[in-house]
Amino acid sequence: MHTRNLGFLLGACLTAGMCLAQQADPNQAPAATAQEPAPHHAMNPDKQSKHLGKKLGLSQDQVAQIEPILADRQQQVQALRADTSMSAEDRRSKRQAIQQDSKAKIEAVLNDTQKQQYEQMLAERGAHRRNPQQSPQTQPGQ
């Protein structure tokens, strides 16, 4: 009986703690949301440049050149997210311009073979975003 009551009490405490943790802090300023980290799927520039290095067979020098490009892109996108004065359409087109600019800068660091691999990697990512149900192994034409 004592163990059962202890288990019930522990469960109630854990549930109450979870409920309190989910409540928003009413004293928190709305501007603090602009400082939130990037979504969980976005990698930091260091990890992303190392990932590209592995996928594309980049030299350490190439990885070192790409990292600041990715850091600059991340900073510009964060500033764009924080700018509430722009319309959604303007924000979207500005983000596309930022992506295109960083893509061009990255490709300037790559050799021809690496550029082809990079383009293919981006195309596969775009196809996956358009049709997330279809894995790369099950795509038609492969």
139 pLDDT exceeds 90? no
- Comparing C-alpha atoms, which of 115, 40, 33 is closest to residue 81? 33
50 within 8 A of 63, measured Cβ to Cβ:
yes
What average pLDDT does this structure show over 118-140? Answer: 74
Instruction: Flag whether 120 is in a domain.
Output: yes
Instruction: Flag whether 142 is in a domain.
Output: no
Instruction: Flag whether 75 is in a domain.
Output: yes
Instruction: Flag whether 90 is in a domain.
Output: yes
Instruction: Flag whether 115 is in a domain.
Output: yes
Query: Which range marks the domain in which residue 84 is found?
Result: 44-129
pLDDT given for residue 107 in this prediction = 95
Mean pLDDT computed over every residue of the chain: 77
What average pLDDT does this structure show over 107-135? Answer: 86
Instruction: Flag whether 7 is in a domain.
Output: no
pLDDT given for residue 59 in this prediction = 95
The residue ranking higher by pLDDT, 142 or 110, is 110
**Which tokens hold the place of 16?**
């109450």
Instruction: Flag whether 57 is in a domain.
Output: yes
Confidence band, pLDDT 50/70/90 cuts, at residue 30: very low
> What's the whole-model pTM score?
0.62
Say how many domains are in the chain: 1
With H, G, I as helix, E, B as strand and everything else as coil, classify residue 135.
coil
98 pLDDT exceeds 70? yes
Instruction: Flag whether 112 is in a domain.
Output: yes
Confidence band, pLDDT 50/70/90 cuts, at residue 53: very high
